[in-house]
Structure 1
């Protein structure tokens, strides 16, 4: 019984810790009025429901997503009373387990918001929101229009009517249409599209004590109220049951939050408690203690695990976000992979990985996300998994789970690529750094980096660059360095900045004093520093998320031997494959044309006779050697022992 109790407690602790870790990865908490969705609950929560959903697909490492999170929280709080009709949700695509659902919904940039209609059945029912998600004043109105359009097509019986009132309506007839519990009659005069009125109808949909009516400026009732000037619309009139004149009349154009507040004030004044959640009173702020990770400047080294983790994320997450890669996106992908084939940092198997993907891409004009993932997995398996399948950040590990990580790893990878290109191409007079390095980086960031705003800003920066000044390999190193410092300056003190690792101009004087003088950077010294810094790849491991054996291991130079000869290695292996020998690292000897490991014997094949002849010769030689050994074994061992005694 004791054993079973301890096991049960252990399971509970494991589940609790797993929940805590998951929450830390999210940009939102349960107090944010945002439904947190993932691969385990998405279908159950969103599909076949009697309400719509407005869902943000984001990545917790994405700077634009981090910056947008406070505004999305405000929006969710603003429309929390809308939940019976539409609920606000979020999916963290940076969480590995959610990769499939984010690909399924074709999320190729962050943040992306989708509207899922009433009684959605599948991914096809999700509509990408194309409005201005950063404008808090109009975002709820955009959502109200999506809801109204949804109602127009499906007419959910439990939703309010979004139609205009009858032209002949009077205050008395409208009171008769209101339910017996109605104590307030809200008349809103608004031209089409009546988004303010639609927002109010959604907000008070489940509060039977408020009856909201939409009037056209051409209606007789609107004319009697003097609401005929289009520039003054929408106008609002609030009636209390039993009173002939309106309690409140707006003198000019009014917003939907102002109308909501006037109605709420009147409900409070008459001592009526709202049945729906308050739309104006924010819930108490709950102070959360968030576990942080101790960060140290000693971790700022170029780590192989950061590079391989970034490369793995690119191959398995960034690229397959597009359901079908073709056209300019395919051209960009080919440029990127071809560059990695030549200049990717790391071991020979890593370079061979990109060589094989590059060869495969050169033979196709389009590829689906499923085909891409299958190919990457296949090549990874054949080469013994040169890229680890679990991402581990060491120098790029942030003080919080959603800070730094992949974005840091990507920058490190790009810098290392420029330095590797310099190492290989510095004496090549025909090398064009703008074409061979900068353009592949540009196209990848613009078309595949899932932080949409970041990709656009990078694209605009590159478009303004004088590429004629980037010719030598050293030029690409310095261009990327200047670009990174520009980004650091812009993002300093932003919400996406890790407070434990503040953005600064790199390299600081503390690690490269000769790089600075009174006028700023000494670029010749900066170049020398960058070449040395990004060539010094450390192979520290991580244990329990902490740095292990810090500053003790460097990238073994033996791993680099042969990296420049990957083409010849792959060509040699292809030649062996044609001779029915598989020379991959796992040594799986099989005929590549056969379905099974053993090909049926073919007596007409001359190769079988050749192999049989040499096997016979080897067996005979072994037999003769063994017989001689038996005759002379006593003499042999005496000689052996005497020789060793003499040595001692």
Structure 2
């Protein structure tokens, strides 16, 4: 997993201002993986993607990526080079990108069913209705040439009615049709590329020349040997040229390559680029040209920041999980186990822990084989208005901030989160009692492995982690060893990604902890560096301990105001409960009583402690103390009453006898 981040758009500013901003140490939002107006491709967003694809006169190949995905960062130069290589094809097929790591694009990527990054989809021309497109089917082969050839196949698969008007015929023509063109005057050149059936050179040259006038390019296969011999063609691919005056002959070039053929044909007298306007793109509506540049946050690298952990949870629950419309089978089991462990071990603020505990209780109580993600999101967003639960709704990277928006961020926070969980499991082993995980020293590692396998967006990163897990995770026999295993594998990843395009130049991938953070962790044996693992373990238990967490930059919880707002909250809570039930019924059929009781128990159990007494908000502890004091006071008064009552009776009897 490579470090990454999420960020906003570009804020236009003079070059001098940008230089001053950079010098001042601000984390500029202008830099993205792909730059509108600078890169030879189309940068789409939630507000433009549908209007760009629907009824387009050109086909599209679109990359859905995430700015936090290290593999996407590494692939960006290849995709940019491909776009430049086929720039002349754009009237027939266009290349675009959409960043699923941008908050405004979360919902759009979900609608297109994007599960992993990068994902490549083809969209045919003149599409009338919404479609999720056709998946790129070349497996893991994403070399420039392979993708370019897949684009050609996609264009050829268009029907005659839906084929882009700018795209000429790509199928080979019979040799008899070529012979009929000889010795006839024409207004244009006709170039014939002769090639084998599995060659793409001819089709590539045809598309290279569609922006040029006074020339027509066709292709013919080398199956008619007699015809080739008549033309004097002895090798393939070759190019035979018919001039406007009807003369014809084989052209001589240094190398039989696409670039040589295209360059020669573009340089012919009278062949020039067509004067055509750029294909229009829909503009974004109701949004400013840029966004505010975020100020750099100073931080202590020896500390752990709760803002990073909470931002990671926000992204995990609201963005990464959102790519799955429904959780079932192994995915649902993984998510339930993940929530159980994090609810017990997360060293967070009470509102966040309470949210995780509420989510965990709700998941465990539901007797369903599948759960719609929207129902989970409603609880995470507290649609039921349960008092005292809260999770930030946006990212606020501190120790995980990158020098550019696409660097570090979420993957950094995910590492920190699981490091924290391994340490918490080691220092608080009793926290997992009665969860079914108390006797499993690999519990956090196994859940991390399953989570990355089922949910982590970067597929290549997930495959690398799975390889490491298969190699040695089974050797972990204690909770302390689990802490060290994850630390060791994180350093393996750092070593592999050192010098990678996903590496942040301000935060180079090094072996961690560095000597300035933990000098005792480093030793030398016979002149070679070695780790003192006992000291490393001690350092990790300190670094990821509750007492080393800083709460600076965390978002505060917004509280309800007056009595009217609280009454409105109660009504919203009841309405939201009905909505959650409706979503579960829509996905699973009628929900059994136990399922309804699970939802109701979450609401009632969590709202009771926050009941307002005489207009004053009391916590569950406050109310418990009040009840104890009330009962004790009542008992005391009753005892005193009976005591004085008995003394009064005895006094009256004695007084009566003395009178007699």
Instruction: Assess, with a 3 A threshold, how the Cα gap between structure 1 residues 73 and 587 changes in structure 2: closer, same or farther.
Output: same
Instruction: Assess, with a 3 A threshold, how the Cα gap between structure 1 residues 476 and 424 changes in structure 2: closer, same or farther.
Output: same
Helix, strand or coil at the partner of 2:553 = strand
Residue in structure 2 matched with residue 337 of structure 1 by the alignment: 339
1:54 aligns with 2:61: yes
> How far apart, in 1, do the equivalents of 2:183 and 2:400 lie?
64
Question: Deviation per CA, 1:436-491, whole angstroms, max 9, x where unpaired?
Answer: 21111001112211111111111111111151x21211111000000000000111
Instruction: Assess, with a 3 A threshold, how the Cα gap between structure 1 residues 89 and 434 changes in structure 2: closer, same or farther.
Output: farther
Helix, strand or coil at the partner of 1:518 = strand
Cα contact 1:431–1:472 (8 A) shared by 2 = no
Residue in structure 1 matched with residue 397 of structure 2 by the alignment: 393
- In the TM superposition, 1:165-564 aligns within 5 A as 165-173=173-181, 181-182=187-188, 184-193=189-198, 195-219=200-224, 221-225=227-231, 233-242=236-245, 244-249=247-252, 254-264=256-266, 266-267=267-268, 270=269, 272-275=271-274, 298-362=300-364, 363-378=367-382, 381-425=385-429, 431-433=438-440, 435-467=442-474, 469-519=475-525, 520-535=530-545, 536-542=547-553
Residue in structure 2 matched with residue 606 of structure 1 by the alignment: none
TM-score for the superposition, normalised by structure 2: 0.72
Instruction: Assess, with a 3 A threshold, how the Cα gap between structure 1 residues 489 and 213 changes in structure 2: closer, same or farther.
Output: same
Higher relative contact order (CA 8 A, sep 6+): 2
- RMSD of equivalent CA atoms: 3.6
Instruction: Assess, with a 3 A threshold, how the Cα gap between structure 1 residues 324 and 403 changes in structure 2: closer, same or farther.
Output: same
Instruction: Assess, with a 3 A threshold, how the Cα gap between structure 1 residues 168 and 583 changes in structure 2: closer, same or farther.
Output: closer
1:154 aligns with 2:162: yes
Cα contact 1:489–1:505 (8 A) shared by 2 = yes
Helix, strand or coil at the partner of 1:124 = coil
Cα contact 1:106–1:321 (8 A) shared by 2 = yes
Helix, strand or coil at the partner of 1:378 = coil
Instruction: Assess, with a 3 A threshold, how the Cα gap between structure 1 residues 103 and 154 changes in structure 2: closer, same or farther.
Output: same
Question: Deviation per CA, 1:264-310, whole angstroms, max 9, x where unpaired?
Answer: 3x33xx36442379xxxxxxxxxxxx989768673452100100000
Gapped runs of 5+ residues in structure 1?
1-13, 278-289, 545-573, 591-613, 622-648
Residue in structure 2 matched with residue 642 of structure 1 by the alignment: none
Question: Deviation per CA, 1:82-138, whole angstroms, max 9, x where unpaired?
Answer: 110111111111110000111111111111111111112344251111225631223
Instruction: Assess, with a 3 A threshold, how the Cα gap between structure 1 residues 416 and 25 changes in structure 2: closer, same or farther.
Output: same
* 1:162 Cα deviation after fit: 2.1
* 1:583 Cα deviation after fit: 4.1
> How far apart, in 2, do the equivalents of 1:165 and 1:576 lie?
67
Helix, strand or coil at the partner of 2:31 = helix
Cα contact 1:392–1:542 (8 A) shared by 2 = yes
Cα contact 2:113–2:132 (8 A) shared by 1 = no
1:137 aligns with 2:141: no
Question: Deviation per CA, 1:156-184, whole angstroms, max 9, x where unpaired?
Answer: 444312232134123452786x9x542x3
Residue in structure 1 matched with residue 21 of structure 2 by the alignment: none
Question: Deviation per CA, 1:126-156, whole angstroms, max 9, x where unpaired?
Answer: 1111225631223211111111112457344
Residue in structure 2 matched with residue 609 of structure 1 by the alignment: none
Helix, strand or coil at the partner of 1:215 = strand
Instruction: Assess, with a 3 A threshold, how the Cα gap between structure 1 residues 61 and 300 changes in structure 2: closer, same or farther.
Output: farther
Residue in structure 2 matched with residue 31 of structure 1 by the alignment: 38
> How far apart, in 1, do the equivalents of 2:481 and 2:417 lie?
17
TM-score for the superposition, normalised by structure 1: 0.73
Instruction: Assess, with a 3 A threshold, how the Cα gap between structure 1 residues 71 and 259 changes in structure 2: closer, same or farther.
Output: same
> How far apart, in 2, do the equivalents of 1:504 and 1:143 lie?
40
Cα contact 1:215–1:222 (8 A) shared by 2 = no
> How far apart, in 2, do the equivalents of 1:443 and 1:212 lie?
53
Cα contact 1:299–1:394 (8 A) shared by 2 = no
> How far apart, in 2, do the equivalents of 1:157 and 1:359 lie?
58
> How far apart, in 1, do the equivalents of 2:191 and 2:463 lie?
45
> How far apart, in 2, do the equivalents of 1:583 and 1:125 lie?
40
Helix, strand or coil at the partner of 1:310 = helix
